[in-house]
Amino acid sequence: MFKNFFNALIVARQATAARQVMDCMSDRQLNDLGYDRSTFVAAQMAIMVAELAAKDEAAQNSVPVNANLVGAL
C-alpha cells in the first residue's frame, strides 16, 4: 500500500515536471520530439508508469541467495 502511494507521488511529480518543461518548449520543439501540447504530459506519465512497473517486476523476480549455501545441493 505504501509503495502504491509512493508511486502515485512519483507519477504526480513527473506530470508537474512535464508541464513545466512543456511551458519552456515551443510547438516546433515538441513536434520535433513527436508530441504536441495535448499529448506531452500524458506520454511522459505513461513512460514513468511503465518504468515503475518494470522496476517492480524486476524486484519480484529476484531471489536472494545465501552465499554459504551455494553449491550445497
Closest by CA position to 41, among listed 21, 62, 69: 21
Tens place of pLDDT per residue across the chain (73 aa): 788 899 999 999 999 999 999 999 999 999 999 999 999 999 999 999 999 999 888 777 766 777 777 665 5
